[in-house]
Amino acid sequence: MVTRVPRWLLRHRIVIEPYVGESAYGPVYGPPHDVPALVSEAARLVRAPDGRQVVSSAQVVLDLDTDVPAGSRITLPTGRATVPITVSTVDAPGLPVPAHKEVTCE
């Protein structure tokens, strides 16, 4: 049985607009959806999927079932829009560690 992050820990609300592709005018996003999250706006050095070291200005913890496609637009509780650098699934089967998604944002 997987222990999930308790909903009461997800104290913030963010808006995710899933990336669906490109058009002649730039990125195209799907309909926005509002989801519970735990947001920490702090500068941290992270490694992007291509191996570069970049600065993440926000880290977001989400429920395990939340879908965040690469390239999506995320609006944080402060109103700032950002995009994910990395999206990771954090779980430890058999251990009492809550499973969740962790998103590092530009």
Strands 19-23 and 100-105: unpaired
Model pTM? 0.88
Geometric angle at alpha carbon 78, from 45 and 37, rounded to 5°: 70
Beta bridge partners of 29: 19
Alpha carbon separation from 23 to 28, 32, 33, 40 (Å, rounded):
6, 18, 21, 32
Element (H, E) at 25: none
- Tens-level pLDDT at each residue, the chain (106 residues): 568 888 899 999 999 999 999 999 999 999 999 999 999 999 999 999 899 999 999 999 999 999 999 899 999 999 999 999 999 998 877 777 788 999 999 9
